[in-house]
Structure 1
């Protein structure tokens, strides 16, 4: 009969072995172009918000461009935005704000090099005071900045 410590140690080792992944070396890929598609978000009835998010995300990711025309293309598709109900304070917050996207690196030959699902999750209070008239705009800006930061981290920029 196994001791409890042996069983727990074996379980922990198996869990850690299952969590290990092979990291793709995306940092070696020079990015020549960045494309942001907010069409899926617009198709969900959020066309005005999708139109506002696109230039924000392009601006946030512009620093990743490291190559000329011959480099890879970073394609980002924004697939979802959820702003929870918020009126200030923890007691009335019904969840977190989220911005979902997918970043893909496409090589100069058209092959997909890497794909990264990205989900930025933030408390609605990151947009500042709930009673200001531009609170939703600031919440979206905070989500876009967070999403771009996760994309930069994923592609090694």
Structure 2
């Protein structure tokens, strides 16, 4: 009986390990590429009626990514395509999901050809901006999303 239970347990652990190994996601990070210029386009976000927010996000993202610039090399083109701030009044029971910032990062070579393309989706809890009753809570939520988005971009481009 004990041997059967041990054999069954070993079998189940083997299945679980195999399943988990198949479910692991490996980030497709590129070998580091020298980046000479960084361009951030928030036009698609502005076109969705969020022009004031798009104007705020552009310099934030440029500042976050500035450390990637090496003076010469490929161009990092980041296009911000979506922003969603869920309603938030404090506490998990009141939220209707997470905040998200969508972008696409592309590395463009000196010859104009695309070297790589990375869709980026930063997801954060609406509480990431701190206390819901502060007047600047939404700006702080956006700042947290921009920082997360930039972190994913740095990870993918090898910076």
Per the TM superposition, whether the score is higher than 0.5 is yes
Q: Which residue of 2 aligns with 1:61?
A: 65
Contact 1:24–1:114 (Cα < 8 Å) also in 2: no
Output the CA distance in 2 between the equivalents of 1:153 and 1:22: 9
Gaps of 5+ in 2: 1-6
Choose 1 or 2 for highest CA Rg: 2
CA shift digits 1:35-83 (9 cap, x unpaired): 0000110111101100110000000000000132xx1000000000000
How well do the aligned residues superpose, as a CA RMSD in angstroms? 2.1
Residues 1:36 and 2:36 are matched in the alignment: no
Output the CA distance in 2 between the equivalents of 1:64 and 1:31: 6
Cα distance 1:36–1:16, how it changes in 2: closer, same or farther (>3 A)? same
Give the match's secondary structure for 1:98.
Answer: strand
Gaps of 5+ in 1: none
Match of 1:89 among 88, 91, 94: 91
Structure-2-length-normalised TM-score: 0.85
Structure-1-length-normalised TM-score: 0.86
- Which aligned pairs between 1:2-151 and structure 2 lie closer than 5 A? 9=14, 13=18, 16=21, 23=28, 25-27=30-32, 29-68=33-72, 71-151=73-153
Aligned residues, how many?
A: 152
Moved over 3 A (4+): 3-26
1:16 to partner: Cα distance = 3.8
